[in-house]
Structure formats: C-alpha cells, structure tokens
Structure 1
Amino acid sequence: MGSSLWVARIHDKDENLAAILTLLFMVSTVLWFLWIWKKSNTNPTPPLPPGPRGLPLLGYLPFLGANLHLEFRDMARVYGPIFKLQLGTKLCIVVSSPELVKQVVRDQDTTFSNRDPTISALIASYGATDIAFGSYSSDWRKLRKMFVSQMLSKTNLDDCYAMRKKEVHKSIIHVYSDKSGNPTDLGQFAFSTSINTDTDHNDEEVNDSI
C-alpha cells in the first residue's frame, strides 16, 4: 500500500514537471517568434559613412595637422563627400559638398541644430543653458529672440558704433606703429579687437602679443 502511494506521488510529480516544461517551451517559442517579428518590422539603423581608422581612445587626432581644410579635402577624395572621423571619444561627421551642406544648414537645420558642448562649455554656460551652447528648444528660441531684439537691434548697434570705431582704430594704429618687422598674427589681431570691442577695455597684453 505504501509503495503504491509513493509510485503515485512520483507519477504526479513527473506529470507536473512535464506540464511546467511544456508551458515554458511554449512561452519561449512565442516570445522568440515575437522578437523575430518585431526585429523584421523595425527599420534598420542606417550604416555610418566610411572614414579613416584611428587609434583606441585617441581616434584620428594624432594624424591631423594644422590645415584641416586641406586634410578634409583629401579625405573627401578618398571616402566621398560625407565621411566619419573619430576625434578622441567624439564621433564626427564631415560633409564637404554644397548639396549636403545645404541639407544640413537649411533644409534639415532643426535636426542638426543641437550642440555637443565640452565639459568646460558646460561649466561656463551653467549646464549649456545659454544661446551659444544650448540645444534647440522653445527656451533657446526665446533666448535668441531676446538676444536679437536687445543686442542686435539697429538702435543698439548705432549706439555702439563710436565704440567699435574707436577700438578698430586703436588696433590699426597698434599694428601700424609696430616697427619690429615681425609678421602680424591676424587671428590674434581679430580676437584682441573683438574682446576690446565687447568689453570696452584696451587689452594691452593681448595687443603686445600680436
């Protein structure tokens, strides 16, 4: 009698285990088919454009020189009018044809309008909340509208005309009076003039370094 009950319990356990395994198999099969169906109906991610290979962590930075426009021109001849470039941890896409540039800056400008600020820019702009580093949004549009109306209005520009003229005149005199015979760094010259105009301050140290 005891052995019969033991055999019956073992038989019941086997049936329960078989039922559980069958249920798990059916659920797994259904989930697998659902995953295959979802994958087949999902738009595939478009591939990235071609580009040169770089080093781990550094990317292509060690191979870039000072004349980036010439290097990008040569890369465009090899990889086409659009190519990728890994600069450190940043993946950059370079476009070099008028048609693609028109797509980026005019036809699809909203898609490409967001910024990718650096850590220093995030700190300086309080988390990229200013007009220079902020991403495109309703708040950014309000900032731009305020900037245009308050800073770039005709009245404000006319009021600052005398100051701009004075700073440009100072910079030209500084370059003209330099008798050292050394070449003038036009980039530093433009930067110094812009800083002096924006702050209404004569940056003698910057001017002396031109």
Structure 2
Amino acid sequence: MNELLEELGLRNQITIEDIPEIDLYMDQVIQLFEKKFNDSKRNDEEKLLTKTMINNYAKGKLFFPIKNKKYSKEHIILISLIYQLKGALSINDIKQTLDGVNNRITGGLMELDEFYNGYLDIVDKNVTGFKEEVEKKSNDVNKELESLHAEEDKELEQILLIASLVNMSNLYRRTAEKMIDALGSKEK
C-alpha cells in the first residue's frame, strides 16, 4: 500500500516558488502543469490541462480576466486550485467557491500568495493524515475479511478497500457540496 501511495504523487503541488515572476502564455502554463503533475497522471493518455480547459475556465469566469493573452501568478494559483477542485466538484461549484477569492483579488483585498501557501500547508497535513487513514482502512478491511474467513482473498481485500475509499470520498464531497450551498445562500 505504501508503494501505491507513493506512486500517486500526493505531495505534487505547484508552489509559489514554481511560478515565474513574469506573466506566462497559455502554452507555458500548460507546460508548468505537465512538468509538475506528470507523475500524478493515471496513464500517459491523460491530459492534465489543455487550452480548451483553460478557455472554459475563463469563459465560466472561474478566474478574473487575463490581460494581453498572458496569465499572472494569481491566475496560475487559481488554475492550480481549479485543477485540484475539479476532481470532486462541478464547474459551477468551483465557480461559486472561488467567487469570493476572485472578488477579493480584483478589489485589492487579498494577498493570494499567503492564502495559497496556507492551502499548501493544509494539503501537506492532509496527505499525512490520508496515509494514516488508508493504513487504518486497510487494517479494518483485513479484520472484516478475517471475520468472513477470507483473509487470503486478495481480490476481495482490494474490492472492500476500494469501496471503503470511494465511500469516504463521497462523504467528503457531499460535505463540501453542502458547504458550497451554504456559501451560495450566504452570498445571496
């Protein structure tokens, strides 16, 4: 299990230090993401970020407008947050979640670097907690298999662990969606 978790590249994140001080064209943004998250891809065919995706994020107003076809450090940070959020949330939920951040940035009320570094600190703690939780789930699955007298059945072990992880993922996603709904009603 530890090998599997290491293969996931859970700590792969775009840090403030990874982002150049100069604004980037779209192809450069895509290259930055490909370089940073290449190890996180499920397979070689998976696209991390495409021009179409970025254009859809811009059209959907998931981040404030770009200038002169270049993306600032703030845009790259927001695209990184979108990249992380899109694995569990709809585009509308992401927009609603990031609206407050975008408004604060355009209003000069927020230093996005500090917010993003705080997010990265939380991600690091989440990865540590996740690894511990997966180990606990694996132990729970093995105990269940023992009670079924099927402790040698590796396929059943994997199926139970997969189902458990998906269940936890759904619980987290549903909780996040309820928080987004509350955020939306607060804004109205």
TM-score interval, smaller chain? under 0.3
Which one has more relative contact order, counting CA pairs under 8 Å at least 6 apart? 2
TM-score by length of 2: 0.27
Which structure has greater helix proportion? 2
Q: Which has the larger radius of gyration?
A: 1
TM-score by length of 1: 0.25
